[in-house]
């Protein structure tokens, strides 16, 4: 496979600092691990980053398990010169954070959506006499538009997922169980280069397909069953997301055939609506209006999509009423579905990257119905 462009990690802290001014804080405690990774390159399971606004200083604290890894990843990401590293137990970390707070820091932002009440109290003690202030979405706002290295990694994850599905698809016609198909898909993704699955794989057949987030069971897939497969791969931290729905062994008939037709048309309409400058809510409407016109408004119970990157669900939300403006470089999903308990469910999903003239699909597996 071709070499991927580097991630543009250096400079992200500089882009963040003006947002701290706008939020009315002098520094920011970054506790969400995906945000920490985005700003520093550190991918450990424990770490907190303190970013000062006025001074070009930042401190990453973690425990002894990550002493070597943290140093190596800061160096590899190009942030070693701008991010100090503190390693030790919980008290050592809090002391290091407190020691970095200067006399000019009066208000410290904390990621309210990612911090427990108990952690907030401990941080408040460490930051005293500075005041701890709730913030939301500061780093996430930067993460919405992907650089070339990020998009390339999401694309590579999608390529791995596409190839894995191609390998295991014949199992549908062999009477496999949902659980065995899900396992085979995950093993194939790992063998093809994924570091992990992107989320818990969904394989739902027959009546289970009418449950949008069904878990794979020991049910055997039968001829004529709708089979919803929602899955993704993770590559170098970045995730893909794709859903395909197949009919096992033969073409769908009756009302199920119409569901397939309507969902496919709705998904195509949603993808066609994606473009830089468009409100995310308009993409949702493009899908939802077609499904409502078919008489199944109540059977489309989830949003049309979401952003994808270091997390499987990121901003922006592609949902009804969303006023988020899509920008070139944003990566989102388009995944309408119809779920009828007495008939079955159909969902079709692609991950796309927004361009000035529309969008480019990152997931490309066929939408042929029969498997």
Cα dihedral sign, 194-87-121-142:
negative
How confident is the model at residue 103, as a pLDDT?
A: 76
For the packed helices 33-40 and 67-77, what is the interaxial angle rounded to 10 degrees? 50
How confident is the model at residue 332, as a pLDDT?
A: 98
Count other Cβ atoms within 10 Å, centred on residue 146: 25
Mean per-residue pLDDT of the chain: 96
Do 176 and 126 have their domain in common?
Answer: no
pLDDT of 2 over the 80 cut: no
Q: Give the CA dihedral 71, 144, 149, 187, nearest 10 degrees.
A: 80
Domain boundary among 92, 118, 142: 142
Q: Give the CA dihedral 74, 75, 81, 85, nearest 10 degrees.
A: 40
Do 91 and 126 have their domain in common?
Answer: yes
DSSP state of 328: T
DSSP state of 145: B
What is the C-alpha separation between 35 and 106, in angstroms, rounded? 23
We report the CATH number of the domain holding residue 118 as 3.40.350.10
Please name which of 158, 161, 162, 112 lies closest in space to residue 308, comparing C-alpha atoms.
158
| Mean pLDDT computed over 80-105 | 91
Q: Residue 6 domain-assigned?
A: no
pLDDT of 126 over the 90 cut: no
Do 254 and 172 have their domain in common?
Answer: yes
Q: Which domain holds residue 127?
A: 12-142
Do 138 and 169 have their domain in common?
Answer: no
Q: By percentage, how much of the chain surpasses pLDDT 90?
A: 93
Q: Give the CA dihedral 206, 211, 215, 219, nearest 10 degrees.
A: -20
Domain boundary among 122, 142, 162: 142
Q: Residue 189 domain-assigned?
A: yes
Burial 263-277 (b: 16+ CB within 10 A, else e): bbbbbbbbbebbbbe
Place of tokens 């295991």: 168
What is the C-alpha separation between 241 and 189, in angstroms, rounded? 13
Domain boundary among 142, 169, 188: 142
How confident is the model at residue 55, as a pLDDT?
A: 84
Are 134 and 110 in contact, with CB atoms under 8 Å apart?
A: yes
Q: For 269-322, what is each residue's pLDDT tens digit?
A: 999 999 999 999 999 999 999 999 999 999 999 999 999 999 999 999 999 999
Q: Residue 32 domain-assigned?
A: yes
Do 275 and 290 have their domain in common?
Answer: yes
How confident is the model at residue 141, as a pLDDT?
A: 96
What is the C-alpha separation between 284 and 337, in angstroms, rounded? 12
Q: For 18-35, what is each residue's pLDDT tens digit?
A: 999 999 999 999 999 999
For the packed helices 117-127 and 90-100, what is the interaxial angle rounded to 10 degrees? 50
Do 136 and 152 have their domain in common?
Answer: no
Do 326 and 189 have their domain in common?
Answer: yes
Q: Residue 4 domain-assigned?
A: no
Are 279 and 299 in contact, with CB atoms under 8 Å apart?
A: no
| Mean pLDDT computed over 103-122 | 91
| Mean pLDDT computed over 87-116 | 91
Question: Strand (E) positions, the chain?
Answer: 27-30, 48-52, 58-62, 84-87, 107-111, 131-135, 196-197, 202-205, 226-231, 233-235, 238-239, 242-247, 305-307, 314-318, 331-334, 337-340, 344-347, 350-354, 359-361
How confident is the model at residue 1, as a pLDDT?
A: 60
Do 289 and 190 have their domain in common?
Answer: yes
Do 189 and 103 have their domain in common?
Answer: no
Are 361 and 155 in contact, with CB atoms under 8 Å apart?
A: no
Instruction: Spell out the residues 6+ positions from residue 112 whose beta carbon is closer than 8 angstroms to its own.
Output: 134, 135, 136
Number of domains composing the chain: 2
Question: 370: left (phi > 0), else alpha (psi -120 to 50), else beta?
Answer: beta
Exposed, middle or buried, 165 (CB in 10 Å: 0-12/13-18/19+)? buried
Are 79 and 113 in contact, with CB atoms under 8 Å apart?
A: no
Do 135 and 156 have their domain in common?
Answer: no
User: Residue 100: pLDDT band by 50, 70, 90 thresholds?
Assistant: confident
Are 345 and 338 in contact, with CB atoms under 8 Å apart?
A: yes
């Amino acid at each position: 496979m071709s070499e991927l462009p580097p991630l543009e990690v250096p400079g992200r802290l500089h882009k963040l600092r003006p947002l701290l001014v706008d939020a009315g804080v002098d520094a920011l405690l970054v506790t969400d691990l995906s945000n920490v990774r985005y700003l520093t390159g550190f991918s450990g399971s424990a770490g907190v980053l303190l970013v000062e606004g006025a001074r070009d200083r930042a401190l990453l604290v973690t425990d002894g398990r990550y002493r070597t890894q943290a140093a190596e990843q800061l160096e590899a990401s190009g942030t070693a010169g701008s991010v100090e590293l503190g390693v030790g137990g919980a008290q050592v970390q809090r002391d290091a954070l407190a020691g970095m707070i200067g006399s000019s820091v009066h208000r410290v932002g904390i990621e309210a959506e990612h911090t427990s009440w108990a952690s907030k109290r401990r941080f408040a003690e460490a930051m005293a006499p500075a005041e701890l202030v709730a913030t939301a979405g500061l780093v996430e706002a930067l993460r919405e538009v992907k650089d070339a290295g990020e998009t390339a990694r999401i694309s590579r994850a999608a390529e791995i997922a596409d190839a894995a599905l191609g390998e295991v698809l014949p199992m549908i016609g062999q009477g496999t169980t949902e659980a065995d198909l899900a396992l085979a898909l995950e093993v194939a993704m790992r063998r093809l280069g994924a570091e992990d699955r992107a989320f818990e794989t969904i394989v739902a057949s027959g009546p289970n397909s009418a449950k949008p987030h069904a878990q794979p069971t020991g049910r055997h897939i039968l001829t004529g069953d709708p089979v919803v497969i929602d899955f993704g791969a993770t590559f170098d931290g970045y995730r893909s997301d794709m859903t395909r729905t197949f009919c096992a062994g033969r073409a769908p008939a009756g009302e199920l055939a119409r569901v397939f037709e309507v969902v496919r048309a709705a998904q195509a309409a949603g993808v066609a609506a994606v473009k830089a400058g468009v409100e995310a809510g308009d993409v949702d409407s493009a899908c939802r209006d077609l499904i409502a016109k078919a008489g199944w408004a109540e059977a489309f119970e989830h949003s049309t999509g979401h952003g994808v990157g270091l997390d499987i669900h990121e901003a922006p939300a592609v949902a009804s009423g969303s006023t988020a403006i899509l920008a070139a470089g944003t990566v989102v999903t388009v995944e309408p579905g119809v779920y009828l308990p007495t008939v079955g469910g159909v969902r079709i999903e692609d991950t796309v990257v927004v361009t000035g003239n529309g969008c480019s699909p990152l997931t490309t597996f066929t939408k042929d119905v029969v498997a």
